[in-house]
Amino acid sequence: MNISVVIALYNEEESLNELTDWIKRVMLAHKFSYEILLVDDGSNDRSWEIIEQLQQADKQIRGIKFRRNYGKSPALYCGFEAAEGEVIITMDADLQDSPDEIPELYRMIKEDKFDLVSGWKKKRYDPLAKTIPSKLFNWTARTITGIKLHDFNCGLKAYRNTVIKSIEVYGEMHRYIPVLAYQAGFKRITEKVVQHQERKYGVSKFGIERFINGFLDMMSVVFISKFGKKPMHFFGLLGSLSFLVGFAVLIYLSFMKIFFHAYNMTDRPLFFLGFLSIIFGTQLFLTGFLAELIARSSADRNNYQVEKRTKIDNP
């Protein structure tokens, strides 16, 4: 199968028929073999009823329904798990992503040999209250992760099948799938300017809190990628530095007290700063030690992505 289109949706009953018809027209025009996976993230409208009708009319459409609303990342995870195509295309269900972009995204994966192609909505039809925080968020993500993408949060992306089978999307990490893929060893990541359309039905399901949550998730991704298997390198280093600073401060104060008898070290804020620094450093070091014990007891502590192995010729 050439393409799997994975669509995570929540309360999108108005757009589903139009979206699937549009996707099918594109697929038939380019003679792609395909499947459409619609993951209903606990909708409380008629979305699932429409998905069942679509599936009865077209066996290339499959549906997955959550019992309650879990979020976009769990929906994508289940869609990725079920996808069978050589190339996986993700898009939103609100018709703001154009299925006409699919052929070029597919070509970039198959012919240009990219692992992941992320859409870039260079011209957006969103209010300033949404676009300005988005630009700030994307700039921060580029700076911290080192991945030069302009639109991390664009729902329209294309992946090689091995990419989505090698990563785990959880929480609200769908914004950082390019980062997760890069950390898994897939370095050929690029972006493509895509058409952004005005919302035709419904309202946005994400509020301003997504930028706060997105920043916190970014910190989690960066920390886990760098120190997930070696937490002592982070906590132990900070703890040691803090302990040494506090120890040096107390040594200095003790020296002043010994040679200058009138010097009252306990009346000085520096004494409490040094004392707290030693306590804080000790706590950080112990945190790193406990985290190291947990990491070494983890079932996936030696779970590494192996791309190829040499063949052994039997004599």
> Which CATH number characterizes residue 71's domain?
3.90.550.10
Residues 211 and 243 in one domain: no
Segments forming the whole domain that contains residue 293: 232-297
What is the Cα–Cα distance from 40 to 74, expressed in whole angstroms?
Answer: 11
In this structure, is residue 308 part of a structural domain?
A: no
Q: How confident is the model at residue 173 (pLDDT cuts 50, 70, 90)?
A: confident
Residues 223 and 268 in one domain: no
What is the pLDDT at residue 53? Answer: 95
Residues 63 and 9 in one domain: yes
- Phi, psi torsion values for 48, nearest 5 degrees: -70, -40
Give the 3-state secondary structure of residue 168.
Answer: coil
Residues 138 and 285 in one domain: no
Q: How far is CA 57 from the centre of its chain?
A: 34
What is the pLDDT at residue 211? Answer: 60
What is the Cα–Cα distance from 273 to 132, expressed in whole angstroms?
Answer: 41
Residues 77 and 143 in one domain: yes
Residues 70 and 145 in one domain: yes
In this structure, is residue 309 part of a structural domain?
A: no
Is the model's pLDDT at 246 over the cut of 70?
A: yes
Pick from 4-8, 79-83, 225-229: least confident: 225-229
In this structure, is residue 310 part of a structural domain?
A: no
For the chain, the domain total comes to 2
Tokens encoding 36? 């459409």
What is the pLDDT at residue 153? Answer: 83
How many residues comprise the chain? 315
pTM of the model: 0.75
Give the 3-state secondary structure of residue 290.
Answer: helix
Q: Nearest-CA neighbor of 161 among 55, 75, 90?
A: 90
Average pLDDT, stretch 260-267?
72
Cα–Cα separations (whole angstroms), residue 300 to 96, 233, 294, 297, 304: 38, 19, 11, 9, 8
Residues 139 and 14 in one domain: yes
What is the Cα–Cα distance from 267 to 232, expressed in whole angstroms?
Answer: 35
Average pLDDT, stretch 78-102?
93
Q: Sheet holding 189-193: strands in order across?
A: 61-65, 34-40, 3-9, 87-90, 157-160, 116-120, 189-193
In this structure, is residue 116 part of a structural domain?
A: yes
**Enclosing H/E stretch for 8:** strand 3-9
Tokens encoding 67? 């019992």
